[in-house]
Amino acid sequence: MTVAALIYRHRLIGKRAVAWLSRQLPASASRRVRALAERVAFNLTPQYQGDTLPAIFHYWSGRYLAPQAQRLGIDSPEAFYLDRIRAAQRHSMPLRVLSLGSGAASMEIYLAEQLRAAGVAAQIICMDFNPTLMRNAAASAKARGLDPWITFETCDCNRPFERPAQDVIIVNQFFHHVTELETFCRSLRNSLAPDGVLLSSDIIGRNGHQLWPDVEIEVQRIWASLPPEQQFDRHFGARQAKYPSIDHAAYSNEGVRAQDIVGCLLEEFDFELFFSFGAAIVPFIERRIGFNFAPDVERDRALIDHVQAIDAEALTQGRYPTTSMIAALRHKNSVTDPIHLPISPQRHVELTQQQLRKVASTTR
Q: What is the DSSP secondary-structure string of 1-62?
A: --HHHHHHHTHHHHHHHHHHHHHHS-HHHHHHHHHHHHHHHHHHS-HHHHH---HHHHHHII
User: What is the pLDDT at residue 29?
Assistant: 56
pTM recorded for the entire structure: 0.87
Q: What is the DSSP secondary-structure string of 10-23?
A: THHHHHHHHHHHHH
Residue pLDDT, tens place only, 90-106: 766 899 999 999 999 99
b/e map of 142-172 (b: 16 or more CB within 10 Å)?
A: eeeebeebbbbeebebbeebebeebbbbbbb
User: What is the pLDDT at residue 43?
Assistant: 47
ω into residue 342 within 30 of 0, thus cis? yes
Three-state SS at 328: strand
Residue pLDDT, tens place only, 227-270: 999 999 999 999 999 999 999 988 888 999 999 999 999 999 99
DSSP state for residue 334 in the 8-state scheme? -
Residue 24 Rama label (left phi>0; alpha psi -120 to 50; beta): alpha
pLDDT tens, the chain, 364 aa long: 433 333 334 344 454 454 445 455 565 555 454 455 544 544 444 443 444 899 999 999 999 999 999 999 999 999 999 999 999 987 668 999 999 999 999 999 999 999 999 999 999 999 999 999 999 999 999 999 999 999 999 999 999 999 989 999 999 999 999 999 999 999 999 999 999 999 999 999 999 999 999 999 999 999 999 999 999 999 999 999 999 999 998 888 899 999 999 999 999 999 999 999 999 999 999 999 999 999 999 999 999 999 999 999 999 999 999 999 999 999 999 999 999 999 999 999 999 999 999 999 987 6
Cα separation, 236 vs 266, whole angstroms:
38
DSSP state for residue 64 in the 8-state scheme? I
DSSP state for residue 315 in the 8-state scheme? H
Q: Which of 304, 279, 309, 276 is nearest to 290 (CA)?
A: 304
User: What is the pLDDT at residue 212?
Assistant: 98
